[in-house]
Structure 1
Amino acid sequence: MPDIEFETVSQRIRALFESLTRAERQLANRMLENYPVSSMGSITTVAEEAGVSAPTVARMARKLGFSGFPDLQAALRRELEAAISDPITKHDHWASDADTTHILYRFTESVLDNLRNSLKQIDIEAFDRTVSLLSDRRHALHIVGGRITRSLADYFFTHMQVIRPDVTLVASNSNSWPHYLLNMQEGDVLVVFDIRRYEHNIVRLAEVAQSRGVSVVLITDQWGSPASKHSTVTFNLRIEVPSAWDSSVVPMTLVESLIAAVQADCWEETKARMKTLEDLFDHTKLFRKFL
């Protein structure tokens, strides 16, 4: 297993899954099924619900790097608290830090640390698979974001709309989502942005889209949106910084990397679209020309 600092219990489970026994895999699947709630009961309850023995649960906790089941549950509680934190709680968490370094340097170092650790955890095969999905012009592409992440969705949409046809930015008003779902066909791709304080409607959209045969690409944080249960590919990215707000730097880096990769994957078609677009810009005199 690569030397990676795992942020969540779920990441540890997935990394170790292939090395688990049959009973442990059964337990792992149950733990991930309604994560992290499914592991918050007593060791007896968790074992019964997974159909395994209590010693199996204890052994699993140790395999995941914890001293025992109580230690594992403590980690899950910390995850849950972090995932549902509001801006005031986030601010107070960082404000309690005695570090007197200037905020510019502290913030930048946090962002760089987020980027380094996120890159370690991104599966290159998953990235390449996503590029193939996004490049496939036989199927439409749909993009949606939440209250904060809709700006990322809009940025991604603007670039993908130039690169390829049949790209739709799903409106942030969930009342209109059934109309968008009506146009989603089997084989289409839905890119979903959802970070902590996860939005119920986005999770529901991903669920219904998946049921219609749509491939869901989820861009989320290190704790993981519940929408991951319905995703084909999930990217868990670091977002914590010394602020009341989470950082979008790492998600934006992934977005721009995907844009560059898809553009390179179908450059001739994209180049033709860009030339046509430039002609339209000239015709509408959108940009000022100095010569």
Structure 2
Amino acid sequence: MSPKPSSADRRLFSQLRSEMDRMTASERVIANFLLTNRQAVPFETANSLAAKLAISAATVGRFCRRLGYRNFRELKAAFKFDVAVAPWPIGEGLRSMLQTGGGEPALQRDLDLTIAGIIEVYRRAETREWQDIVALLAHCSTLHIVGFQTERGLAAHFASFLQYVRPRVRVADLATGSFSEVLLDGTDKDCVVIVETRRYSRQAQLLARHCRQRGLPLVMITDKYCHWAGEYTPHILALPTESGIFWGTTVPIHAALALLVNGVVLALGDRVEQRLAHVSDLYQEFVGHVGKPARGQRKRGGDIEP
């Protein structure tokens, strides 16, 4: 289970949420990080947070004073979580392997961050917020999934699995440039899923804005730095992407998508098994699997069996 916030934590979180609309863009970035990345806050400094969020340390200081704290150290004291230094015990053999050779300690840090991120995802899967998102994905009329930039692959992967377990799952067509199948043909019984991490595509925010204006339920699957998602939907999974290597990690996002698919399967029950049986029969008819040719494709004396 996730650690429970203290009364001081709750007051701070309530203050952050209530004042978000009146904050500057830089202040919203900081507030969003504090709300979505609580486990990491005790390990940050004003300088490290400023570097991570691409703002100045002076901005962090002003933000703290706005909330009634003298500095970032005093603000951190409001976070009373019992956070383990190491997110997961690993064997000395693996630790030794990770820490040998030039630059290898980065792999150790990446492993620790990735495991911590996966643990956080599994904890999130126990929350009411998560279950509300699963219900939308399972029971909406048509599910539109869209990803931008490098997240296109994540979105397509997610959609492919959901197409096996429920009908009317669509990958939004970026090539048309209009999203008409979502914004014109979609209804308030549909659901839109946007998968996006920073630097965020302008299209992602614009699509989110149009979804809100048209009353289309929206799920945002993003990172912990996306301060603007809350303007358009309450259904946000802000997931850890920090890593010790060149690119930010997508492993926790993959884990979250897999658990969301599993949640949809559980929500739909027996209907999934029936659908999978039909999909399997159709696949075997048209394509077939290794060692088991598709029906009508077995060769007999050089001919194709009808």
Structure 1-normalised TM-score?
Answer: 0.69
Q: Which amino acid aligns with 2:222?
A: T
Give 1:132's aligned amino acid. A
Preserved CA contact (<8 Å) 2:107 2:244 = no
Paired AA for residue 193 in structure 2: V
Residue 148 of structure 1 and its aligned partner are, at CA, apart by: 0.7
Q: 1:155 to 1:26 in 2, by over 3 A?
A: closer
1:199, 1:15 → 2: CA distance? 34
**Larger Rg over CA atoms:** 2
Stretch moving more, 141-150 or 101-110: 101-110
Kindly tell me: are residues 281 and 14 of structure 1, through their superposed partners in 2, closer, same or farther at Cα, counting changes over 3 Å? farther
Matches within 5 A, 1:51-66: 58=65, 60-62=67-69, 66=73
Aligned match of 1:256 in 255, 258, 270?
A: 258
1:125 aligned residue = 128
Of the three residues 212, 215, 218, the one matched with 1:216 is 218
**What amino acid is aligned across from residue 136 of structure 2 in structure 1?**
L
Give the Å deviation of 1:132.
0.8
d(CA) in 2 for partners of 1:32, 1:15: 21
**Residue ranges of structure 2 left out of the alignment (5+ in a row):** 32-54, 77-101, 294-306
Mark the runs of 5 or more structure 1 residues left unpaired by the alignment: 6-11, 48-56, 72-98
Structure 1: distance between partners of 2:125 and 2:25: 22
| 1:178 CA drift (Å) | 3.2
RMSD: 3.7
User: 1:154 deviation in Å?
Assistant: 0.4
Structure 2 residue corresponding to 1:136, chosen from 136, 139, 159: 139
**Alignment partner of 1:159 out of 151, 158, 161:** 161
Offset at 1:27? 3.4
C-alpha separation in 2, matches of 1:63 and 1:136: 48
Q: Name the residue aligned to 2:22.
A: 30
Read off the aligned partner of 2:165 and give its amino acid letter: I
CA contact 2:143–2:169 (8 Å) conserved in 1 = yes
Residue 38 to residue 107, structure 1, CA distance change in 2 (3 Å): closer
Is the 8 Å Cα contact of residues 215 and 232 (structure 1) preserved in structure 2?
no
Match of 1:16 in 2: 12
Distance 1:240 1:263 in 2: 29
> Any residues of structure 2 matched to 1:1-291 within 5 Å, and which?
3=3, 16-18=12-14, 20=15, 27-31=19-23, 36=28, 58=65, 60-62=67-69, 66-67=73-74, 100-119=103-122, 124-137=127-140, 139-173=141-175, 175-224=177-226, 226-290=228-292
Deviations 1:112-152 (Å, cap 9, x if unpaired)?
A: 12223455567711100011111114x21110001111111
Corresponding residue SS for 2:215? coil
Secondary structure of residue in 2 paired with 1:175: coil
Give the SS at the match of 2:247: coil
Identity %: 22
- 1:222 CA drift (Å): 1.3
The residue aligned with 1:78 is none
Deviation at 1:101, TM superposition (A): 3.8
User: Judging changes above 3 Å, is the alpha-carbon distance between structure 1 residues 179 and 120 closer, same or farther for their aligned structure 2 residues?
Assistant: closer
* Whole-Å separation in 1 of the counterparts to 2:218 and 2:9: 22
Q: Which moved more, 1:103-112 or 1:153-162?
A: 103-112
Aligned residues: 240
Q: CA deviation at 1:249?
A: 0.4
Take 1:26 and 1:281, find their aligned partners in 2: how far apart are those partners? 52
TM-score, reference length from structure 2? 0.66
